[in-house]
Amino acid sequence: MAVRIECDSLWYGADLVTMRDGQYNLIADGAIAVADGQIVWIGTRSEAADIQALQRTDFGGGIITPGLIDCHTHLVFGGDRSAEFEQRLNGVSYAEIAAQGGGILSTVRATRAASLDELISSARWRIERLLAEGVTTLEIKSGYGLDEESELRMLQAIRLLAQQVPADVLATCLAAHAFPPEFKQNPDGWVDIICQRLLPEVKAQQLADAVDAFCEHLAFSPEQVTRVFERAQQLGLPVKLHAEQLSSLGGGALAARFNALSADHLEYATESDVQAMAQHGTVAVLLPGAFYLLRETQRPPVGLFRQYQVPMALASDANPGTSPALSLRLMLNMACTLFGFTPEEALAGVTLHGAKALGLEKTHGTLESGKVANFVHWPLARPAELVYWLGGQLPCQVIYRGEAQ
């Protein structure tokens, strides 16, 4: 039945991959009506015959997906570690590189030395690579400053980047990423600063949308993470957690206990972790880029996530050390080939479930009336092609907040 509405723009002539309920839920030869940056109607082209639109765009075939969501990145940092990557491939051990001043502390030094403008400029170049492949929403973490001034500068850079790029950019405070060299002999002293000074300042300046931590035997203990999360909770900031990447410490269950938006990595998650995540609605964010680059062999328990119906998101984990990934679409293929995802699960991981991992599922992640008009046209025959092609930038037309980019 034809509908009568007025809107700013009408986009049609392609199959709509709506991703409702985490499935393709295709609408053949569909149409999307947009007003004030929001989807106000969605259906078939024949039903849209009476819609009055100021602008009309006929794509002439292909598919339209929701804008892609990269829900876990570390895109703001100083320097790069390509030399260390080369060293490792030439047989130099991580311990030797660290003894030479390399590893995460080399990024910390470069980040501390970088100005606000330098952090923004280098990160923007990386962000633009992701946006060119259909990303319209992304999260960026701090965590390479590891002192109060530098952590705040990183978060300020993220907020300023959000004003400069055609994407919805969320900031996460990851001051509990590693211990600063100044606190090597007093790790709890850094936790004290995070809880007593840094997080209250972050909240006061509204510099972060969430708080993250790295729970691992070589990073923060469950007890230290608990302190950080309790403080975040007092300040009204949601939490996320790097958990179970290298060992099993009960990080998934710890995150769930705090009703975390997500627990990320999860290669060593146990069934009790997964059960807790299911109970508390915590999303599993899987990061195949780091798994690949570190040549890991312990795969995340995808079967358990399916069994307990824990939503599985995917992200680039773009960072200078373990996942220098500038293609979210490549992560879709890696999730299928390395983790056993189906193409439909992979696409859900960077749309609906990616949105849920950021607390945005009510406004982002699917093509539905009432949601933000972030979507992408691809001249492809079927959604599986997004996952199938390895490398190469697929042509696409990005529509952000109802405006063609």
Residues contributing to the annotated binding site: 72, 74, 81, 144, 177, 242, 245, 317, 319, 321-322
Q: What angle do CA 178, 183, 187 make, to 5 degrees?
A: 65
Name the binding residues for Zn(2+).
72, 74, 242, 317
Q: Which residues contact 69 (CB under 8 A, 6 or more apart)?
A: 135, 136, 137, 138, 313, 350, 351, 354, 355, 358, 360, 364, 365
Residue 134 near residue 65, CB atoms below 8 Å: yes
Binding site for 4-imidazolone-5-propanoate, residues? 81, 144, 177, 245, 322
User: Residues marked as binding for N-formimidoyl-L-glutamate?
Assistant: 144, 319, 321
Contact 178, 145 (CB under 8 A): no
What is the residue whose two structure tokens read 């992200």? 315
Within 90-186, residue ranges assigned H as helices are: 94-99, 104-113, 116-131, 148-164
Dig out the tokens for 353 from the structure: 């479930």
C-alpha–C-alpha distance, residues 261 and 347, integer Å: 19
Cα 363 from chain centroid (whole Å): 16
Distance CA 312, CA 350 (A): 9
CB 335 within 8 A of CB 374: no
Residue 179 near residue 221, CB atoms below 8 Å: no
- Which residues line the annotated binding site for Fe(3+)? 72, 74, 242, 317
Q: Which amino acid is at 103?
A: G
State the Cα angle at 292 between 291 and 294, rounded to 5°. 70
Q: Which of these, 307, 311, 351, lies nearest to 329 by C-alpha position?
A: 351
Distance CA 396, CA 61 (A): 12
Tell me if 171 sits within 8 A of 140, measured CB to CB.
yes
